[in-house]
Amino acid sequence: NAGVMQNPRHLVRRRGQEARLRCSPMKGHSHVYWYRQLPEEGLKFMVYLQKENIIDESGMPKERFSAEFPKEGPSILRIQQVVRGDSAAYFCASSSGQGSSNSPLHFGNGTRLTVT
Amino acid sequence: AQSVTQLDSQVPVFEEAPVELRCNYSSSVSVYLFWYVQYPNQGLQLLLKYLSGSTLVKGINGFEAEFNKSQTSFHLRKPSVHISDTAEYFCAVSSNQAGTALIFGKGTTLSVSS
């Protein structure tokens, strides 16, 4: 499967624990986007990364959330000290070009985070 | 900044009926427009996109959309729906400037019944 791979598909964490969500972009893609989906709210943009660089993190909460896309390996979205409000589906998307202009986003199947 | 409004949160229709899912956008710059479909427990799949040129865009699964600049709309249509079209549909916009992310609407749930 050459698509965007996200793991785990489901993640359960207790309040206060850390959640690490992984995303391997499509082969040849160097641009990664993270979105959060809450019921009735659609997808909210969180962060846009290229290899080793954060390009736009305007949608990321200022505290507890961080993202990286190292030179080698998958992109990681990290949530520290999770709270119940962090429960959501987190989607990763990748593209080959600059933003979405001529290279539409390809989405993974998401990680569903449940905080108990 | 761009924003997207999907005017209907839920659209129930009968099989073989036509359907229109409405989408309006706002932007101070030129935009690209997209429709994505999401089936349960899956990611989003691109249905169609408008970048430039003809305002009528045809996509997969028999869907089409028309870009109307004066009304800032990009409504999605299908002349005859199937049960398998039941899904959530998202309209999205981005500016035509490099390095900008897609902004999504809240989605419209299309429910097709027999």
Mean pLDDT of chain A: 91
8 Å CB contact of A45 and B103: yes
- How many Å apart are CA A74 and CA A64, to the nearest integer? 20
Residue A18 to chain B, least CA–CA distance (Å): 23
pLDDT in tens, A36-82: 998 778 899 999 999 889 999 999 999 999 999 999 999 999 999 99
Asked if the Cβ–Cβ distance from B44 to A91 is below 8 Å, we say yes
Alpha-carbon gap: B5 to the closest alpha carbon of chain A (Å): 11
Q: Cβ contacts (< 8 Å) between B36 and chain A: which residues?
A: 107
Minimum-distance CB partner of B32 among A40, A100, A107: A100
Q: Does B41 touch chain A (CB under 8 A)?
A: yes
Residue B93 has pLDDT above 70, yes or no: yes
Cα–Cα distance for residue pair A39/B14, rounded to 1 Å: 25
β strands within A39-86, DSSP E:
42-50, 53-56, 65-68, 75-79
| Residue B38 confidence class, pLDDT cut points 50, 70, 90 | very high
| CA geometry: angle B93, A101, B48, nearest 5 deg | 60
* pLDDT tens digit sequence for B67-79: 999 999 999 999 9
Q: Quick one: tokens of B52?
A: 């430039």
Pick the residue from chain A with its C-alpha nearest to B4. Answer: A42
Give the pLDDT of residue B42: 86
B99 CA to chain A: closest CA distance, Å?
A: 4
| pLDDT for residue A101 | 56
State the DSSP code for A84: G
- A72 at the B interface (CB within 8 A)? no
Question: How close B89 gets to chain A, by Cα (Å)?
Answer: 10
Cβ–Cβ contact B106 with A under 8 A: yes
Q: Residues A72-109: pLDDT tens digits?
A: 999 999 999 999 999 999 999 998 865 455 567 889 99
Q: How far apart are CA B17 and CA A111, in angstroms?
A: 35
